Amino acid sequence: MARSQSGSPAHGNLDRMSRALAHTLVVAILAALLAVAFWRSGYEFQWEGVWAYRQKFVTGWLTTVAMSLASLVLSALVGLVTAVGLRSRWTLVEAAARVYVELIRGTPLLVQLLIGFYVVANAVGLENRYVVGALVLALFSGAYMAEIFRGGLAAIPAGQRDAARAIGLTPWQSLRLVILPQAIRLVLPAVAGQLVSLIKDSSLLSVIAVSEFTLAAQEVNSFTYSTLESYLPLAAGYLLLTLPLSALSRWLERSFAYEAG
Protein backbone atom coordinates (compact mmCIF):
# COMPACT_ATOMS: atom_id res chain seq x y z
CA MET A 1 0.00 0.00 0.00
CA ALA A 2 2.61 2.49 1.11
CA ARG A 3 4.85 1.34 -1.72
CA SER A 4 2.47 2.06 -4.57
CA GLN A 5 1.55 5.44 -3.05
CA SER A 6 5.04 6.72 -2.49
CA GLY A 7 6.49 5.80 -5.87
CA SER A 8 5.82 7.57 -9.16
CA PRO A 9 3.32 5.87 -11.53
CA ALA A 10 6.16 4.45 -13.63
CA HIS A 11 7.80 3.15 -10.50
CA GLY A 12 4.49 1.54 -9.48
CA ASN A 13 4.19 -0.23 -12.85
CA LEU A 14 7.69 -1.61 -12.57
CA ASP A 15 6.86 -2.73 -9.07
CA ARG A 16 3.77 -4.56 -10.29
CA MET A 17 5.64 -6.17 -13.18
CA SER A 18 8.42 -7.45 -10.98
CA ARG A 19 5.83 -8.84 -8.58
CA ALA A 20 3.97 -10.58 -11.42
CA LEU A 21 7.27 -12.05 -12.61
CA ALA A 22 8.05 -13.31 -9.13
CA HIS A 23 4.59 -14.93 -8.89
CA THR A 24 5.02 -16.62 -12.26
CA LEU A 25 8.41 -17.92 -11.24
CA VAL A 26 7.13 -19.40 -7.98
CA VAL A 27 4.17 -21.04 -9.77
CA ALA A 28 6.51 -22.48 -12.44
CA ILE A 29 8.82 -23.98 -9.80
CA LEU A 30 5.87 -25.48 -7.92
CA ALA A 31 4.43 -26.93 -11.13
CA ALA A 32 7.80 -28.47 -12.02
CA LEU A 33 8.13 -30.02 -8.55
CA LEU A 34 4.61 -31.45 -8.78
CA ALA A 35 5.30 -32.84 -12.26
CA VAL A 36 8.43 -34.57 -10.99
CA ALA A 37 6.53 -35.96 -8.01
CA PHE A 38 3.81 -37.39 -10.26
CA TRP A 39 6.35 -38.81 -12.72
CA ARG A 40 8.29 -40.52 -9.90
CA SER A 41 5.10 -41.96 -8.38
CA GLY A 42 4.64 -43.78 -11.67
CA TYR A 43 0.96 -42.78 -11.75
CA GLU A 44 -0.65 -43.43 -15.15
CA PHE A 45 -3.22 -40.72 -15.92
CA GLN A 46 -6.48 -41.96 -17.49
CA TRP A 47 -8.44 -38.85 -18.43
CA GLU A 48 -11.01 -40.52 -20.76
CA GLY A 49 -13.15 -41.97 -17.97
CA VAL A 50 -13.36 -38.67 -16.12
CA TRP A 51 -13.92 -36.64 -19.32
CA ALA A 52 -17.19 -38.48 -19.84
CA TYR A 53 -18.48 -36.93 -16.63
CA ARG A 54 -17.42 -33.33 -17.42
CA GLN A 55 -21.03 -32.11 -17.29
CA LYS A 56 -21.23 -33.27 -13.69
CA PHE A 57 -18.20 -31.13 -12.80
CA VAL A 58 -19.68 -28.08 -14.48
CA THR A 59 -23.03 -28.47 -12.73
CA GLY A 60 -21.31 -29.08 -9.39
CA TRP A 61 -19.07 -26.05 -9.86
CA LEU A 62 -22.05 -23.83 -10.68
CA THR A 63 -23.90 -25.18 -7.63
CA THR A 64 -20.93 -24.30 -5.45
CA VAL A 65 -20.85 -20.77 -6.86
CA ALA A 66 -24.59 -20.31 -6.36
CA MET A 67 -24.64 -21.75 -2.83
CA SER A 68 -21.61 -19.65 -1.81
CA LEU A 69 -23.10 -16.44 -3.18
CA ALA A 70 -26.50 -17.05 -1.57
CA SER A 71 -24.81 -17.82 1.74
CA LEU A 72 -22.60 -14.75 1.44
CA VAL A 73 -25.54 -12.39 0.97
CA LEU A 74 -27.45 -14.00 3.85
CA SER A 75 -24.40 -14.10 6.09
CA ALA A 76 -23.71 -10.42 5.42
CA LEU A 77 -27.17 -9.61 6.78
CA VAL A 78 -26.76 -11.97 9.73
CA GLY A 79 -23.28 -10.59 10.38
CA LEU A 80 -24.41 -6.96 10.28
CA VAL A 81 -27.28 -7.51 12.69
CA THR A 82 -25.04 -9.54 15.00
CA ALA A 83 -22.28 -6.91 14.86
CA VAL A 84 -24.74 -4.22 15.93
CA GLY A 85 -25.91 -6.63 18.65
CA LEU A 86 -22.35 -7.16 19.84
CA ARG A 87 -22.04 -3.41 20.38
CA SER A 88 -25.47 -3.05 21.98
CA ARG A 89 -25.95 -1.22 25.27
CA TRP A 90 -28.52 -3.83 26.29
CA THR A 91 -26.71 -6.64 28.06
CA LEU A 92 -29.17 -9.32 26.94
CA VAL A 93 -28.80 -8.44 23.25
CA GLU A 94 -25.02 -8.27 23.58
CA ALA A 95 -24.98 -11.65 25.36
CA ALA A 96 -27.18 -13.32 22.74
CA ALA A 97 -24.94 -12.06 19.92
CA ARG A 98 -21.79 -13.11 21.80
CA VAL A 99 -23.12 -16.63 22.53
CA TYR A 100 -24.08 -17.10 18.87
CA VAL A 101 -20.65 -16.01 17.63
CA GLU A 102 -18.73 -18.15 20.11
CA LEU A 103 -20.90 -21.25 19.61
CA ILE A 104 -20.53 -21.11 15.85
CA ARG A 105 -16.84 -20.29 15.82
CA GLY A 106 -16.09 -22.89 18.46
CA THR A 107 -17.67 -25.88 16.69
CA PRO A 108 -16.87 -27.58 13.36
CA LEU A 109 -19.06 -26.74 10.37
CA LEU A 110 -19.47 -30.48 9.83
CA VAL A 111 -21.32 -30.83 13.14
CA GLN A 112 -23.43 -27.74 12.45
CA LEU A 113 -24.45 -29.13 9.06
CA LEU A 114 -25.40 -32.52 10.46
CA ILE A 115 -27.37 -31.08 13.39
CA GLY A 116 -28.88 -28.40 11.16
CA PHE A 117 -30.06 -30.89 8.57
CA TYR A 118 -30.95 -34.02 10.54
CA VAL A 119 -32.22 -32.38 13.73
CA VAL A 120 -33.33 -28.77 13.28
CA ALA A 121 -34.56 -28.85 9.67
CA ASN A 122 -36.25 -32.17 10.33
CA ALA A 123 -38.02 -30.77 13.39
CA VAL A 124 -39.39 -27.74 11.52
CA GLY A 125 -40.25 -29.79 8.43
CA LEU A 126 -37.73 -28.15 6.10
CA GLU A 127 -36.84 -30.76 3.50
CA ASN A 128 -34.97 -28.97 0.72
CA ARG A 129 -31.33 -29.78 1.41
CA TYR A 130 -30.14 -26.87 -0.73
CA VAL A 131 -32.11 -24.39 1.37
CA VAL A 132 -30.95 -25.98 4.61
CA GLY A 133 -27.37 -26.07 3.35
CA ALA A 134 -27.40 -22.39 2.38
CA LEU A 135 -28.97 -21.44 5.71
CA VAL A 136 -26.46 -23.38 7.83
CA LEU A 137 -23.58 -22.05 5.76
CA ALA A 138 -24.94 -18.51 6.15
CA LEU A 139 -25.26 -18.87 9.92
CA PHE A 140 -21.75 -20.31 10.05
CA SER A 141 -20.22 -17.56 7.95
CA GLY A 142 -22.40 -14.93 9.67
CA ALA A 143 -20.50 -15.42 12.93
CA TYR A 144 -17.23 -14.58 11.18
CA MET A 145 -18.85 -11.70 9.29
CA ALA A 146 -20.12 -10.36 12.63
CA GLU A 147 -16.57 -10.09 13.93
CA ILE A 148 -15.44 -8.44 10.68
CA PHE A 149 -18.27 -5.88 10.86
CA ARG A 150 -17.76 -5.31 14.59
CA GLY A 151 -14.13 -4.45 13.89
CA GLY A 152 -15.20 -2.13 11.07
CA LEU A 153 -17.75 -0.34 13.22
CA ALA A 154 -15.27 0.00 16.09
CA ALA A 155 -12.71 1.54 13.72
CA ILE A 156 -14.91 4.57 13.01
CA PRO A 157 -13.71 7.40 15.28
CA ALA A 158 -16.10 8.54 18.03
CA GLY A 159 -16.04 12.02 16.50
CA GLN A 160 -18.05 10.74 13.53
CA ARG A 161 -20.89 9.67 15.82
CA ASP A 162 -20.67 12.99 17.66
CA ALA A 163 -20.90 14.91 14.41
CA ALA A 164 -23.84 12.80 13.24
CA ARG A 165 -25.68 13.45 16.50
CA ALA A 166 -24.74 17.12 16.46
CA ILE A 167 -26.38 17.71 13.08
CA GLY A 168 -29.52 16.01 14.38
CA LEU A 169 -29.43 12.61 12.71
CA THR A 170 -31.40 9.84 14.41
CA PRO A 171 -29.35 6.79 15.50
CA TRP A 172 -30.61 4.87 12.48
CA GLN A 173 -29.72 7.72 10.07
CA SER A 174 -26.32 7.99 11.68
CA LEU A 175 -25.70 4.29 11.05
CA ARG A 176 -27.02 4.41 7.49
CA LEU A 177 -25.54 7.70 6.28
CA VAL A 178 -22.35 8.09 8.29
CA ILE A 179 -21.11 4.93 9.98
CA LEU A 180 -21.96 2.15 7.52
CA PRO A 181 -20.65 3.82 4.34
CA GLN A 182 -17.28 4.22 6.05
CA ALA A 183 -17.30 0.85 7.79
CA ILE A 184 -18.21 -1.03 4.59
CA ARG A 185 -15.19 0.42 2.79
CA LEU A 186 -13.05 -0.71 5.69
CA VAL A 187 -14.36 -4.28 5.78
CA LEU A 188 -14.72 -5.01 2.04
CA PRO A 189 -11.27 -6.63 1.73
CA ALA A 190 -12.01 -8.90 4.68
CA VAL A 191 -15.45 -9.73 3.27
CA ALA A 192 -13.87 -10.79 -0.02
CA GLY A 193 -11.51 -12.96 2.02
CA GLN A 194 -14.49 -14.44 3.87
CA LEU A 195 -16.06 -15.36 0.51
CA VAL A 196 -12.89 -17.31 -0.29
CA SER A 197 -13.32 -19.27 2.95
CA LEU A 198 -17.02 -19.72 2.28
CA ILE A 199 -16.35 -21.24 -1.14
CA LYS A 200 -13.95 -23.77 0.32
CA ASP A 201 -16.17 -24.47 3.34
CA SER A 202 -19.12 -25.14 1.03
CA SER A 203 -17.36 -28.38 0.05
CA LEU A 204 -18.68 -29.80 3.33
CA LEU A 205 -22.22 -29.52 1.97
CA SER A 206 -21.45 -32.87 0.33
CA VAL A 207 -22.13 -34.54 3.72
CA ILE A 208 -25.81 -33.66 3.46
CA ALA A 209 -25.80 -34.77 -0.18
CA VAL A 210 -25.95 -31.35 -1.82
CA SER A 211 -24.65 -31.99 -5.34
CA GLU A 212 -21.97 -29.35 -5.27
CA PHE A 213 -18.49 -29.42 -6.75
CA THR A 214 -16.81 -31.70 -4.19
CA LEU A 215 -19.62 -34.26 -4.22
CA ALA A 216 -19.39 -34.29 -8.03
CA ALA A 217 -15.69 -35.18 -7.81
CA GLN A 218 -16.36 -37.84 -5.18
CA GLU A 219 -19.03 -39.43 -7.36
CA VAL A 220 -16.89 -39.33 -10.50
CA ASN A 221 -14.10 -40.94 -8.50
CA SER A 222 -16.36 -43.77 -7.34
CA PHE A 223 -17.60 -44.38 -10.91
CA THR A 224 -14.18 -44.29 -12.61
CA TYR A 225 -11.69 -45.28 -9.89
CA SER A 226 -9.46 -42.48 -11.25
CA THR A 227 -8.73 -40.65 -8.01
CA LEU A 228 -6.25 -37.99 -9.15
CA GLU A 229 -8.11 -37.37 -12.41
CA SER A 230 -11.22 -36.65 -10.30
CA TYR A 231 -9.63 -34.47 -7.65
CA LEU A 232 -7.12 -32.43 -9.68
CA PRO A 233 -9.93 -30.70 -11.60
CA LEU A 234 -11.54 -30.08 -8.20
CA ALA A 235 -8.47 -28.17 -6.98
CA ALA A 236 -8.32 -26.24 -10.27
CA GLY A 237 -12.01 -25.39 -10.09
CA TYR A 238 -11.68 -23.95 -6.57
CA LEU A 239 -8.56 -21.98 -7.50
CA LEU A 240 -10.45 -20.54 -10.45
CA LEU A 241 -12.80 -18.95 -7.92
CA THR A 242 -10.52 -18.17 -5.02
CA LEU A 243 -7.49 -16.67 -6.79
CA PRO A 244 -9.40 -13.81 -8.47
CA LEU A 245 -11.21 -13.15 -5.18
CA SER A 246 -7.94 -12.88 -3.29
CA ALA A 247 -6.70 -10.48 -5.94
CA LEU A 248 -9.94 -8.49 -5.64
CA SER A 249 -9.53 -8.37 -1.87
CA ARG A 250 -6.03 -6.94 -2.21
CA TRP A 251 -7.15 -4.46 -4.84
CA LEU A 252 -10.03 -3.26 -2.65
CA GLU A 253 -7.63 -2.78 0.21
CA ARG A 254 -5.45 -0.54 -1.93
CA SER A 255 -8.18 1.45 -3.63
CA PHE A 256 -10.17 2.28 -0.48
CA ALA A 257 -7.15 3.44 1.43
CA TYR A 258 -8.00 7.12 1.78
CA GLU A 259 -7.02 9.23 4.74
CA ALA A 260 -9.66 10.07 7.30
CA GLY A 261 -10.38 13.77 7.32
Partner 1 sequence: MELVVKGLTQAYGKTTVLDRLDLVTGDIRALVLVGPSGGGKTTLLRILAGLDLPIEGSVSFAGKTLPRDEPGLLAYRRHVGTVFQAYNLFPHLSALDNLTLPLVHVHGLSPAAALERVAEPLERFKLAEHAHKRPSQLSGGQKQRIAILRALATKPERLFLDEPTSALDPEMTAEVLEMIGELKDLGTRFVLVTHEMGFARRVADEVAFVGGGKVVASGPASTMFEKCPEPRVREFFARILP
Contact region for partner 1 (CB under 8 A) — 24-32, 97-105, 173-181, 199-207?
A: 173-181
Residue 45 is classified by DSSP as -
Does the footprint of partner 1 cover residue 88 (CB under 8 A)?
Answer: no
Query: Smaller CB distance to partner 1: residue 44 or 259?
Result: 259
Does the footprint of partner 1 cover residue 102 (CB under 8 A)?
Answer: no
Angle at 89 between CA 87 and CA 90, to 5 degrees: 110
Does the footprint of partner 1 cover residue 166 (CB under 8 A)?
Answer: yes
Evaluate whether 256 touches 190 at the Cβ level (below 8 Å). no
Angle at 140 between CA 177 and CA 254, to 5 degrees: 50
Query: Smaller CB distance to partner 1: residue 170 or 222?
Result: 170
Does the footprint of partner 1 cover residue 2 (CB under 8 A)?
Answer: no
Question: For residues 111 and 62, what is the distance between their CA atoms, to the nearest angstrom?
Answer: 25
Q: Which of residues 182-201 bind partner 1 (CB under 8 A)?
A: 182, 185
Query: Smaller CB distance to partner 1: residue 95 or 177?
Result: 177
Contact region for partner 1 (CB under 8 A) — 79-87, 99-107, 181-189, 234-242?
A: 181-189
Q: Which of residues 18-77 bind partner 1 (CB under 8 A)?
A: none
Does the footprint of partner 1 cover residue 255 (CB under 8 A)?
Answer: no
Per-position x/- string for 136-165, each x denoting binding to partner 1 as judged by CB under 8 A, each - no binding: ---------------------x-xx-xx-x
91 Cβ neighbours under 8 A, 6+ residues apart: none
Of 219, 238, 237, 217, whose CA–CA distance to 228 is shortest?
217
Does the footprint of partner 1 cover residue 244 (CB under 8 A)?
Answer: no
Does the footprint of partner 1 cover residue 173 (CB under 8 A)?
Answer: yes
Query: Smaller CB distance to partner 1: residue 160 or 242?
Result: 160
Residue 207 is classified by DSSP as G
Does the footprint of partner 1 cover residue 177 (CB under 8 A)?
Answer: yes
Cβ 193 to partner 1 shortest distance, Å: 22
Which secondary structure element, helix H or strand E, spans residue 123, and what is its range?
Answer: helix 122-124
Cβ 210 to partner 1 shortest distance, Å: 39
Calculate the CA dihedral of residues 31, 33, 37, 43 and round it to 10 degrees: 20
Residue 154 is classified by DSSP as H
Angle at 208 between CA 204 and CA 211, to 5 degrees: 80
What is the residue type of 46? Answer: Q
Q: Which residues bind partner 1 (CB under 8 A)?
A: 157, 159-160, 162-163, 165-170, 173, 177-178, 181-182, 185, 258-261
